[in-house]
Amino acid sequence: MRVAVAGLGWWGKQIISCLVKSPRFEVLHGVDPSPPEGALDFLSGLGVAYAADLDAVLADEAVEGIILATPHRLHEAQCLSVLAAGKELFCEKPLAMDAAGAARIIAACQQAGKVLGIGHERRYEPGFEQVRKLLEDGTLGRPLLFEANISHDLFRGIDRSNWRLDPRHAPAGMMTATGIHQTDLCVAFLGTPVEVRAQTSSLIFEPPATDFVTVSLRFGSGARGTITLLSCTPYYGRVTLFGDKGWVEVASEGNVDQGKPTLVTVCTGTNAPRTVTTHHPTDTVTANFEAWTAAVAGERPYRFTKTQLLDNIRLFEAIVASAGQDGATIPL
């Protein structure tokens, strides 16, 4: 697929670096009206053309698909413009800032007959593939509780004016950076959420930026979830799923781009030996993009259902609303 990537920040460049190595993609343009320092040299080194205007790229018949890695509040309007131009669409997370916007994007994709790609590559990590299989084969039994504790100090060193610390683009602390991945896993493993409570704090960052988020969830099945996000300590990543027959813990030693291993511990009985599997890093970003383009080509279904995409944004919107009301219970 011949594509253009809109957004040349850290993650946009990471995406381009992955795509240029895949035989399924040809990156024609990198798009950004205000490219950060070094971005043009980066594109030149890979033989990718620069464009300042997304509308001009949408008018280019050679471009088949658009990948959006832009500030979050721009996603809805840009997604709809991409679809109106007849292009294939992949959007980085979060899909939209609220459920109504996500619903409009999903409806426009259905009307245009397009497969909506989404930047939730964590589902393709070997550790979470193992969790999915343990659920599907009944090893864990009925899922009862999802726990996630994620810390990362990536944003502690960036300029305070960066949009990633702006509550208009990134409300509820790390929810749009890492939390949205955890809620995606919740929806994939536990189904539709029905109730949310959340709180945020500014422990290290100057308000209005927040660096601490706690979330309590209830799902239609009766299962529960807790998510804790901290954005001012060195990386820590633990996700545990408890069932009535066993539990599994996924312990990540680093972020997706850091090339560090993940340990998966499985317990199926109090007196049973625990199994520990080491998963070495794989290129899950490229795996997600290649799964999307395979779905576009009609080769196999894409992993993310429309219901899951919408439920995740409903959950995100409720978390933001609850945090804005100091932990009020928000029904979905």
Mind listing the pLDDT tens digit of every residue in the chain (332 residues)?
Answer: 999 999 999 999 999 999 999 999 999 999 999 999 999 999 999 999 999 999 999 999 999 999 999 999 999 999 999 999 999 999 999 999 999 999 999 999 999 999 999 999 999 999 999 999 999 999 999 999 999 999 988 777 777 677 776 777 778 878 988 899 999 999 999 999 999 999 998 888 877 778 889 999 999 999 999 999 998 889 999 999 999 999 999 999 877 667 789 999 999 999 999 999 999 989 999 999 999 999 999 999 999 999 999 999 999 999 999 999 999 999 99
DSSP label at residue 301? -
CATH class of 2-121: alpha beta
CA–CA distance, 284 with 286 (Å, rounded to integer): 5
Cβ distance 122 to 128 under 8 Å?
A: yes
The amino acid occupying position 268 is T
CA distance 251 to 121: 17
Distance between CA 29 and CA 38 in Å, rounded?
16
Secondary structure of 109-173 in HEC code, one letter for each residue? HHHHCCCEEECCHHHHCHHHHHHHHHHHCCCCCCEEEEEEEEECCHHHHCCCCCHHHCCCCCCCH
The candidate with the shortest Cα–Cα distance to 38, out of 50, 27, 28, is: 50
Ranges of each domain in the chain: 2-121, 122-331
SS3 call for 276: strand
pLDDT value of residue 257: 67
CATH superfamily of 122-331: Dihydrodipicolinate Reductase; domain 2 (3.30.360.10)
Helix (H, G, I), strand (E, B) or coil at 44: helix
Is the peptide bond prior to 36 cis by the omega test (within 30 degrees of 0)?
A: no
CB burial of residue 61 (10 Å; 0-12, 13-18, 19+): exposed
Model pLDDT, residue 160: 66
Residue 121 is predicted with a pLDDT of 96
Which strands form 212-219's sheet, in the order they lie side by side? 275-279, 262-267, 247-252, 236-243, 143-151, 224-230, 212-219, 193-201, 330-331
What does the pLDDT read at residue 259? 78
Q: Cα-Cα-Cα-Cα dihedral of 117, 211, 33, 81, to 10°?
A: 30
CA–CA dist 105, 72 (Å, integer): 14
| pLDDT score recorded for residue 284 | 94
What is the C-alpha separation between 314 and 97, in angstroms, rounded?
9
Give the integer Cα–Cα distance in Å for 21 and 286. 9
Q: How far is it, in rounded angstroms, from Cα 288 to Cα 268?
A: 31
- List Cα–Cα distances, 233 to 152, 155, 200, 318, in angstroms: 6, 10, 16, 26
Same fold, 2-121 and 122-331: no
3-class DSSP state for residue 228? strand
Q: Are 58 and 85 in contact (CB under 8 A)?
A: yes
Strand partners, 263: 251, 278
Residues 6+ apart with CB under 8 A from 315: 183, 186, 187, 193, 196, 217, 332
The pair of three-digit structure tokens given for residue 80, joined into one six-digit string:
């709809």
| Residue 87 half-sphere exposure toward CB, CA atoms < 13 A | 29
